[in-house]
Structure formats: C-alpha cells, structure tokens
Structure 1
C-alpha cells in the first residue's frame, strides 16, 4: 500500500515507492522532497528537491546533513509547505533525518523524537551508526 506517514502537520516520512507517487504528493500537498539515498529516484512532480546521497550504512556520515535538512523542513513549514523525507524502505536514513528535525526544531529529546516518528511509521529502525550520530547531535543541541 502506498502511503505517506504523517509525523507532524508539515512533515511526512515514507519509502521511495510512495514518495515517488505524484498522486500522493499532490494529495498531501507536499512541496519539498528530501531523498536520503544514493539510488532512489525523485517524484516527477514540480516541487523542491533536496538530495542527501548516503547509503544505509552505519559508517556513513548523516550527521553533517542534520542541520541543513532540519532547517529546510522548518523553512518549508514556515511558508506553509509540507515536506516528505524518504529513503528506499523508509526505515533508517529517512527516520534519522526526521528525528534530527524533531530534536532541533521540535525541541524533543532523542527518545521522544524516536517515539514520535515510530508512532507515525512503526517500521522505522535507524541503524546503530545513525543512532550514535543522533546521540551526538542531542549533546550538541543541548549546548545551544
């Protein structure tokens, strides 16, 4: 079943197949697509696109993209738009980016942010490397 899972009013998480459905993109009024993968396509819809080319590998550096992705999602929300973050299966990479956004702009703890994303899409499971990058990010955010 194709679906975009709603994390907040302005943020969805999904797998690539659903995120590339122009029908779903229009239906949910998505204005920004964040593709967190090396090989997945973008929807053909005429919307803003952000590409974070990483593999679902614990050694990949997703940390360096947390701020830019979180800020892009927030800017989209501020102008009344909606974002979808996706990777191949909508489990690890996209979930990690959504959690980082909730921690930065939602002021949630890592634990609460993970729970919120898991409630929206119960199959999420960030790999151990991404989880440790999120822990590092939580410490960084505490300092600001």
Structure 2
C-alpha cells in the first residue's frame, strides 16, 4: 500500500508543466489527476476544474471507485483533490479517495493542499471546462515555465519567454535571457530584460555574469516584479543562473540549490563547465566550497 502525502499548489503546477521535447502529460503513465469537489454538483464540476482532471466516481454506497483505463500501479503521480482539504488527518473526500487509490498505487498518492479553491486562486489560467481530453489535445498542450519561488521566480525555455499569453498569465515583468538570441522585437518593450549572451558550451564563461544577474533579479523582486529566467531549452544555462541566484539570495549551498531546482524541474542539467563555475560561485558567496561536485549526482 502506498503512502499518502500532501502537496502544495506550486508542486502540482510544476507536475503539470514538466516536459522533454513534448509535455509529459502525453505520457500515459505520468499523471492521474482526480477531482472530487466537496458540496459541488456535477454542473459546477463541469464549469470549472483543474486542467486534465478526471472526476472521481462513487458507487451507490458512496465508496470511491478506481478510475477506468488507468494502470495505477504504473502511474508516476496520482494526485487527488477536492474543494479545500488542508490536512491528511481529515476525513475529507480527497483523503478518503486517496486511501482507495493507495491500495493499488506503488508510488505515493498525493492530496492537493487547499484543494481546488487554493489552486485555482493561484493559477486561474489552469482552470478548465473541458470534461474529456482527446489524445491530440494533450499532445498539443504547451507547458508553462517551472515555478522556482511561488508567484515570483520562474525557469523556462525560449518559446515560453516569447509567448504573450504565458507572460500575461504569470504576470512576468522582467526577463533574464541567457542565450545568444536577442529578445523578439515585438515584446521587448513591455518588460525589463537582461541579456546574458552565452553559448551552451563547457568552455563558456557564465560565471562572469552571475553577480549582475543576481543583482538584476533582486532589484526586480524587491519591487514585487515577477522574473523569468530562460535559455533556448530551459535546461542548462537558465538552470545555472537560477541556482546561482538561490545561492546568492537565500544563501543556499550548491547542493541545496541543486536539489531545490531538481525537485522543481527533474530534467534540468547544467553542462559540466557550468557546474564547476557554480562551485566557484559557492566559494565566493559562502566563503567555502561545501559541495563536492565530483559526486556523480552533479
């Protein structure tokens, strides 16, 4: 029997937005998202639920039924939510449903903290009226940037940085563009941008830009401006700058910054040259190199 865990809205947001070349939502065994709204009718469910969520089903006695056509024992994430569950100690519909799912799942079953109410308040653009999603619609889903600091700091790729709808939904007001490509002209005038013209190569010197990048991000956040850091694929250069900022702003060690970003974006991967530069940055910021970058995990 799998364990039950509680997750914050930002964690579900990041689960929904993981991608490789395409959105991971297209993978059949990636996510099973189940919604059960406390004191909400079927009509209310159809009028608003979290994107791609299935409605939980119950038998005549009110017992929760396993979702059809899903191999729960193979699913990476099984997430259950209702209206506003805040604790695993409650007897809420989400917790009761999760207990049923846990009998089959191998991985932990997750209950969304705050339920639909909190998630939709933070991510209104992820509310949906669609009850049934065709495979092609899932294939065409365009992921949003990954959230590093809720509501303030995002990590993304070039497509996301240039997407007007994404920028509007996330209220992006500042952008650190870590690539050789300049910002598209038609949107460059609507936000503050710092261009870091570095190639994704082990020989590139990204370290020389860390301090200015961190100062720029700090200045924007001090004004409550939301910041997006992007590179072409959002995997190497941008994740490096994000970790450099976490070490600068939060005094994280390299290992702590690495684990934080890895949890948010499991496929992040700075090249080896950037890892060594982050190690040198740790020495400058912390006064010592406490992280062993010869560890294979780096």
User: 1:41: how far off?
Assistant: 3.7
User: 1:40: how far off?
Assistant: 5.8
State the Cα deviation string for residues 67-98 of structure 1 (Å, max 9, x = none).
11111111111101010000000000000000
CA distance in structure 1 between the aligned counterparts of 2:272 and 2:182, rounded to whole angstroms: 22
Matched, 1:38 2:180: yes
Is the partner of 2:255 in helix, strand or coil? helix
Match of 2:198 in 1: 54
Matched, 1:124 2:268: yes
Matched, 1:22 2:164: yes
Where do residues 98-137 of structure 1 align in structure 2 (5 Å cutoff)? 98-137=242-281
CA distance in structure 2 between the aligned counterparts of 1:109 and 1:23, rounded to whole angstroms: 35
CA distance in structure 2 between the aligned counterparts of 1:120 and 1:30, rounded to whole angstroms: 19
Indicate conservation of the 8 Å contact 2:182/2:195, yes or no. no
**TM-score, normalised by the number of residues in structure 2:** 0.47
Q: Which has the higher helix share?
A: 1
Match of 2:144 in 1: 3
Considering only CA atoms, is the larger Rg found in Structure 1 or Structure 2? Answer: 2
User: 1:140: how far off?
Assistant: 0.8
Which structure is richer in relative contact order (CA contacts within 8 A, separation 6 or more)? 1
Matched, 1:83 2:224: no
CA distance in structure 2 between the aligned counterparts of 1:141 and 1:19, rounded to whole angstroms: 29
Change over 3 Å in CA distance of 1:40–1:119 after alignment to 2: farther
Q: CA RMSD in A?
A: 1.5
CA distance in structure 1 between the aligned counterparts of 2:230 and 2:156, rounded to whole angstroms: 5
CA distance in structure 1 between the aligned counterparts of 2:182 and 2:225, rounded to whole angstroms: 23
CA distance in structure 1 between the aligned counterparts of 2:146 and 2:211, rounded to whole angstroms: 22
Equivalenced residue count is: 144
Change over 3 Å in CA distance of 1:77–1:27 after alignment to 2: same
CA distance in structure 1 between the aligned counterparts of 2:221 and 2:182, rounded to whole angstroms: 24
Unaligned runs of 5+ in 2: 1-141, 289-298
**TM-score, normalised by the number of residues in structure 1:** 0.94
